[in-house]
Amino acid sequence: MTTLTKLTPKDTADRVKAGKAVLVDIRESDEYAREHILGAISLPLSALDRADLTLEAGQQAIFHCKSGMRTDSNCAALAGHVEGDAFMLEGGLDAWRATGLPTAKDAKAPLEINRQVQITAGGLILLGALLGTFIAPAWFGLSAFVGAGLMFAGISGWCGMASLLQAMPWNRRRPA
């Protein structure tokens, strides 16, 4: 398996500032919209096969995600999209932020879809458990239904709740 050489946030910032490297954010576009490293380009992992990553001569690509786990587990595919050496930001955006380096935040951007699914599913499961305990046992079915949906999403890779939440008005793209 191809690996990406890990760079500390400081080394990464130095290379980017010197123009030697380009930061490539592999998180999904909704995650990028909420917060990203200044100057990083967005290349979602889900669009990697359809994307063209062109760098200037002598430039290096430094890939990153939120914590480094996504980048680390997809390093072969990422390295295959660049000529020459490829790197990864060790610890991802979390480490960058912890080092005190700047990020661009948009508090008005909606929460990431995965977080919305977690909040909604958790709330429905808790509601089903409470209603089942205090109102009628039939309400436990709500928790079972949501749990089965989450299990289906994990097995199939398709989440109906995420699709539904993406269609909600607060997740629609606003005109520029």
Q: Residue 112 has what pLDDT? A: 93
Sign (positive or negative) of CA dihedral 79, 81, 86, 90: negative
Phi and psi for 101 in degrees, rounded to 5? Answer: -80, 150
- CATH number for region 5-105: 3.40.250.10
For the segment 10-47, what is each residue's pLDDT rounded down to a tens digit? 999 999 999 999 999 999 999 999 999 999 999 999 99
**Distance in angstroms (rounded) separating the CA atoms of residues 121 and 36:** 26
For the segment 56-104, what is each residue's pLDDT rounded down to a tens digit? 888 899 999 999 999 999 998 998 888 877 899 999 999 999 999 999 9
For the segment 116-147, what is each residue's pLDDT rounded down to a tens digit? 999 999 999 999 999 999 999 999 999 999 99
β-sheet bridge partners, residue 148: none
Q: Residue 49 has what pLDDT? A: 84
Q: Is 159 a catalytic residue?
A: no
Among residues 65, 82, 121, 142, the one annotated as catalytic is 65
Domain ranges of the chain: 5-105, 113-171
